[in-house]
Structure 1
Amino acid sequence: MQILDGKLAAQHTKDTLKKEVDEIIAAGKRAPHLAAILVGNNGASETYVASKVKNCTEIGFASTLIRLGEDSSEATLLQEIEKLNNDDAVDGILVQLPLPKHISEQKVTESVNPLKDVDGFHPISAGKLVLGLPTFISATPYGIMLLLEHYNIPTRGKHAVVIGRSNIVGRPMSILLSSNHPHGNCTVTLCHSHTQNLKELCQRADILVAALGKPEFVTADMVKEGAVVIDVGITRVPDSTAKRGYVIKGDVAFNGVAPKTSFITPVPGGVGLMTIAGLLKNTLQAYRTRQQ
């Protein structure tokens, strides 16, 4: 069993990006610029956004963080997005999810200029992904593909099972794994809450991606010997014995599953760090496209 270390792989990606950014600046050009909007004070969202801003600084990106109150109207948020859409100094726009219930995530997603959609959530980005056209890839699936590439995990002809069909992770992950490229070409089964014989399907998976948001859902009896297991889940589980009052759990029961695998991602320290790496690569791509 080998740990797929997201910290190590993400640092490799960031080192490569920093070198490119240094060359851009040395040529007298401005740095790529990522703008993030955070609505409310969700603790997990605060942590994610702070990490994204920190990583931008590390590789030389410019970054802007716009904070809006929990009670901010949908119209106010859309106005802020439109300002960023029209700002030629901004290359990528990130609206941190989840949003307060009174704001439509779909309307917000569709309001972002597709040329600045570094989250890869816009219908145009999703449509191009399905067609195999160059586009922004949703950051978490993109990060997973980068992780598979970094560790040179064989995928061609493998049976991949993806648990979860969200538009952010599950669906794009299934498309990427089945696509005709060096780290794709899998036969993919996409599972969800109505899938029958889920356990049996998982037991046949050479590559198992768990992205359903249920702590420790995948147990050892669901995984075959030698499988590659990618845990996308990250849930705060209350724990009175923990210093912060909670512990972070993935969708995979790591201690039981890990000994059966050939490769497995930890939580934390796995996919989450690669998500940021994917976001940064998308931002540099947005910059280069807009410069051209």
Structure 2
Amino acid sequence: MDVIFDPARQGATGAAEGVIKDGDQKTFMQDVVEASRQVPVLVDFWATWCGPCKTLTPALEKVVKAAGGRVRLVKIDIDRNRSLVAQLTQMGLPLQSVPTVVAFWQGQILDLFQGALPESEVKRFIEGLLKAAGGQMPGADLLAEAEAAAAQGDHQTALQLFGALSQQEPENAKALAGVARALFALGEEAQALAVLDAAPAKIKEASEILAARSAIELEIEGRRAREMLSQFEQRLAANPDDHAARIELAVALNAAGDREGAVEALIEAIRRDRTWNEEAARKQLLKFFEAWGFDDPATKAGRRKLSTLLFR
């Protein structure tokens, strides 16, 4: 549910939780400067007439609550605390416009930003603050941010976030698999495989690790196979029972993004000779399913076709 901005209600809720509160010039030293010697403290300078504040403050509250006490938020109405604002402005803080969010750590100003950032950018800001302060965001938040970055094609950010989570939780299979996938996307092929090889014994056979390895190996195989696609097609035209060529064709088609074509090629190979080379076509098809994921449409369609063929 989205949080609706209401200064009075949000202040009461925050006070109850102990990590979010309304502050003023009388409590600033205690709530911000002194408190920042224990945990980082964000100060949200806002005003009732400020439209962007009504967007930013709920996002700040949500992310601070998710941090589980590793960071606190103090909200200060600039119109009710003019002398404090004037004093901080003399210290060089740009409080002429709001919203302005200032991060304090160890009694000092560590960082700040102005304007209504989206929630994802607020998370990045707080993550950077926690790293600088030697703290950590909860694993679930790190994972969500990492997966979102990977989905957007920002593999460098994904690598940093997956890496941070992997250090925080060494036996988190999703984190380690994410590190490997991000490295591979950045062209670090050997390093990606080395990361998977070095996985702790407890997660070495986890589905996420196996899926990442399959995806990387398939891409490597497919890269080679793409260059020989026409050769495989010519071999099959000359001999439709060239099962090796048909399997290699499937690998090339998958690498080219044609999952449906890859499935059809392997189903045809199974139909022609199920037992050839110790059921190589079926095993290759299962490897595809593992790499694509069980919920992928191509996997679901391929499994139906395979079951129809095997149990007819």
TM-score > 0.5 by shorter chain: no
Q: TM-score per shorter chain, which class?
A: 0.3 to 0.5
Higher relative contact order (CA 8 A, sep 6+): 1
Looking at CA atoms only, which structure, 1 or 2, has the larger radius of gyration?
A: 2
TM-score, normalized by length of structure 2?
A: 0.31
Structure with the largest fraction of strand: 1
TM-score, scaled relative to structure 1 = 0.33
Q: Of Structure 1 and Structure 2, which has the larger fraction of its residues in helix?
A: 2
